[in-house]
Structure 1
Amino acid sequence: MIEERKRPLTTKGHPTLVGSLAPAPTSLCRITPERGCPPWSFKYDSQPGLSHSDRRAVFAFLKMTGTNTKVATGGGRERGGDYSPLDSKEPVKTMRPKDTAWLQQRIKAWSPLITAPWTIPIFFILAVIFAPIGGLLLYTSAQVQELTIDYTHCLTSANDTMSPIPRSSFSTYFHTPLTPADLDAYRWRSSPATKTCTLQFTIPSNFTPPVLFRYKLTNLHTNHRRFVMSLDRAQLMGEARTRDELMSHSDTNFRCNPLYANSAGIPYYPCGEIANSMFNDTFHAPVRAADGHVYPITSRGIAWPHDRALYRPTAYKPADVVPPPFWEEAFPQGYNSSNMPNLQDWEEFHVWMRPAGLARFSRLAKRNDHNVLGAGVWQMNVTSRFSTQGYNGRKALVLTTSSAMGGRGTELGWAYVVSAVVCAVLGVGMTAGVLGVPRQLGDPAGLSWNRPDCYVVRDGRECGSLWERHSVSALFVQQAGTGAATRNRSGALKNCNNGHKTRRDETRRDETNLLILSCLLSFHDEP
């Protein structure tokens, strides 16, 4: 059934386009010596209020239908048009993108219609997936045993005899709960002369290997931009850099500035703020208090394997460099042939040179991958050189085991569990809403890709795709050639609502066609 279109699609406030199809005078077409003016052309007059998009739409339609487009559709430069005047030889200027599937947005795409029958199962499926993952993470985290002792104020709070450690300074997570007698065994003593802090602690159940000894720092921002960039890669790779080379810097490469050399001009090795602030507390092997058994620990294997490739033995001689300022306590006499650090094999240095992303972090210091740390009372000496007073921070010893998912941490597991609960609640709520208060879905036939194509009808008999038949162009040419009056709008352009549907791959093209055609529907006859 053919339905006549009665309302022109013009925007309020914009003038109506005045168009005619008649033999064009020679002033409106480009005339060349070989070819005269064609017998017909399309012209229109645009009023000052005509929008830029309307002019472009009509020009595109004329181009599509084969009509003579070598006319100034914008009225020339003096009238604010997009194209040069007809009597000018300047090339036509346009910013229209190329007619490709990518630039014209005709690439096939999947546009799902998210309805309740699809959404509800998705929520339940996510809940079923997230819940086991969260439970597995919590289970593996529960297998890890951990002991944390904050010894920041050990040298100032403890004395030369064993005294109880404040309960707020240590935390435990063991498979076997601690008894009051076990808690009483947590003690410490200090020796300020040697800066040694002795920590005594109880382990109620065996620690299976690997057993890891970490240091934990709080309120230290190692991710600061100036701090991270304060190093010289060439020096770390073994090159003997001079003072001037270490001092040079720019806005994007600070190198070792300001820690590049001492007051005498001797370069620091290694230079920069990261190396200077290296954690230098020493964890000694723990000793069982009952029988004096020493549990062996080592620093081999604490760094990532590829970190070794970032460092090389230095070409410096010990007399050519000095230790950084914070290393003077460890090297009071400076460097010599016996204590010159080999950065390539120094894994504690490798670990420290990886800045942390947060202000509270822990780093691996020692480990044992073969022996079980048995239950009982243990004592461990810590040489405390690393100062935390300058940045109001804290430091702690962390003794822990490991699992297939890493160390102890319940945050990720609980995140999955909470996500599963939220998805389940949403699924149940949507199910109750659909069953209790059902709502009729919109008619899919009203979607743009399900609407009938726009057709051009001539004499009420011809009905075809605008892109396939070009009926408008044929009709315009026939009428212009015969000089017949232009068919009025109600008879020339109609919407062929006969049930034909556009193909999926022509959806965007036909929608663009409808926009262009809407401009022509506003034309009326001229005498």
Structure 2
Amino acid sequence: MDVDGESTSAVATEARLIPVLSGRSKAMYQFTQQSLPACKPVLTPAWVITTFFLVGALFIPIGLVSLHASHSVVEIVDRYDSECVPDLFKSNKVEYIKDMSIHKNCSRHLKVHKHMKAPIFIYYQLDNYYQNHRRYVKSRSDRQLLHGLQHNDTSSCTPEESSNGLPIVPCGLIAWSLFNDTYSFSRGTHKLRVNRKNIAWKSDRNHKFGKQVYPFNFQNGTLIGGGKLDPNIPLSDQEDLIVWMRTAALPSFRKLYGRIEDDLNVDDVVVVNLLNNYNTYSFGGTKELVLSTSSWLGGRNNFLGMAYTSVGFSSILVAFIFLLLHVRNPSLNIRAVC
């Protein structure tokens, strides 16, 4: 007889044919009959308790080190959306932000309470801004960002796919709503250097935005959503757009604006001259400017450290409970509990 293309022989024993299998057929026969050898470790109480103790002993130091690295990050956070509105327009901020005849200049003074070593990262933070909205996320054309006007199908960019009968590059609501507040920094009479290069992911610059694709017919409609783009610079070099196009998953997010290349000392006063252009007032959003150093883990984020520490302490607690149960009743089968 033939099983799975392998030859087999048969031996007659008391009028029964017992298949004698070899190689692949034998393994297949054991698999179908569920008779393959298996490793079945026996988790004794000592093994279970020791494992939980080891997990706790490993995770707690990692969590504490992560928390220390996070707390070593120095941050200055300044909310300016309300303070940068003249008193005359405090009751109608939307009218103020939409009036193009009003200058939006504003100055903020930030005091440094702890030494900040360069590079100091500049972020803008938006709250109550849902970049993860389905309609918003879909309103873009990745092929157009890479190939420009050579790609004609921009139906996914609705309602910002064309203006005045001409296509828009880059099209879509995400690009249309580009953040356009600007910042400059000084310390006394010394202007601080701000590096705005390499703020976007290298993979995005090289593979998602065309080096020969230039903005075309952008923000030329009757309704201006946000910032404008230089039509003489290719999209791959307009890194503020690239950063903005990587949409955030949560309604509160930060995006990198640039890096200050000078150290800031204790009690230094940084003067921020900004243009308050971006309209977050119509939907109740807020804007914040963030100056932050970094650690070997990146920016300030306590979640990783707290997660490791919580799991570690939970493992130690479970180990103690199992140990007490085992001491009180050595015959208790901990394997059933696990």
TM-score, normalised by the number of residues in structure 1: 0.52
CA contact (8 A) 1:237 1:312 kept: yes
Distance 1:422 1:128 in 2: 11
The answer to whether 1:234 aligns with 2:143 is: yes
* Selected match of 1:402 from 260, 280, 294: 294
Residue 300, structure 1, aligned to residue 200, structure 2: no
Question: In the alignment, is the contact (CA less than 8 A) between 1:276 and 1:324 conserved in 2?
Answer: no
CA spacing shift, 1:438–1:149, aligned 2, 3 Å? same
Per the alignment, residue 314 of structure 2 pairs with: 422
Q: CA RMSD in A?
A: 3.1
Q: Deviations over 1:168-200 (max 9, x none)?
A: xxxxxxxxxxxxxxxxxxxxxxxx822122111
Asked if 1:351 corresponds to 2:250, the answer is: no
Query: Matches of 2:321 and 2:225 in 1, distance apart?
Result: 66
Which of the two has higher C-alpha Rg?
A: 1
- What's the counterpart of residue 431 of structure 1? 323
Retained in 2: the 8 A contact 1:240–1:314? no
**Where in structure 2 are the equivalents of 1:112-151 lying within 5 Å?**
112-151=41-80
What is the one-letter code of the residue matched to 1:350?
I
Q: Distance in 2 between matches of 1:339 and 1:329?
A: 16
Corresponding residue pairs, total:
302
Counterpart CA distance in 2 for 1:292 and 1:414 is 42
Q: How does 1:40-51 map to 2 (within 5 A)?
A: none
Match of residue 287 from structure 1: 186
Distance 1:316 1:406, change over 3 A: closer
Give CA deviations for 1:420-441 in whole Å, capped at 9, x if unaligned.
1111111112111211232255
Residue in structure 2 matching 1:389, options 271, 281, 289: 281
State the SS of the aligned residue for 2:269: strand
Change (3 A) 1:158 1:430: farther
Within 5 Å, give how 1:195-210 maps onto structure 2: 195-210=104-119
Matches within 5 A, 1:48-63: none
The unaligned stretches of length 5 or more in structure 2 are: 1-12, 18-26, 89-100
Equivalent-residue separation in structure 2 for 1:135 and 1:104 (angstroms): 51
Counterpart for residue 245 of structure 1: 153
Deviates more, 1:404-413 or 1:103-112: 103-112
Unaligned stretches of 5+ in structure 1?
1-63, 69-97, 160-191, 248-254, 443-527
- What secondary structure, in the 3-state scheme, does the structure 2 residue paired with 1:155 have? coil
Q: Which residue of 1 aligns with 2:171?
A: 271
Corresponding residue of 1:450: none
Q: Aligned letter for 1:429?
A: I
Instruction: Write the distance in 2 (CA, Å) between the matches of 1:440 and 1:268.
Output: 72
- The question of whether the paired residues in 1 share the 8 Å contact of 2:77 and 2:290 is answered with yes
Shift of 1:204: 2.5
Amino acid at match of 1:267: P
- TM-score when normalising by structure 2: 0.79
DSSP 3-state at the match of 2:195: coil
| Aligned AA (2:149) | A
In the alignment, which residue of structure 1 is the partner of 2:29? 100
Shift of 1:158: 5.9
For the residue of structure 1 that corresponds to 2:270, the secondary structure is strand
1:256 is matched with which residue: 136, 157, 166?
157
TM-aligned CA distance change 1:429 to 1:328, over 3 Å: closer
Pairwise CA distance, 1:205: 2.7
Aligned partner of residue 270 in structure 1, secondary structure: coil
Determine which of 201, 204, 209 is the counterpart of 1:311: 209
TM-fit CA distance, 1:384: 1.5
Residues 357 and 441 of structure 1: CA distance in aligned 2, closer, same or farther (over 3 Å): closer
Report the identity percentage: 29
- Report which structure shows greater RCO (CA 8 Å, sep ≥6): 2
* 1:306-351 C-alpha deviation (Å, 9 max, x unpaired): 1112112456696xx34365657755xxx8xx74442110111111
Q: Secondary structure at the match of 1:350?
A: helix
More strand by share: 2
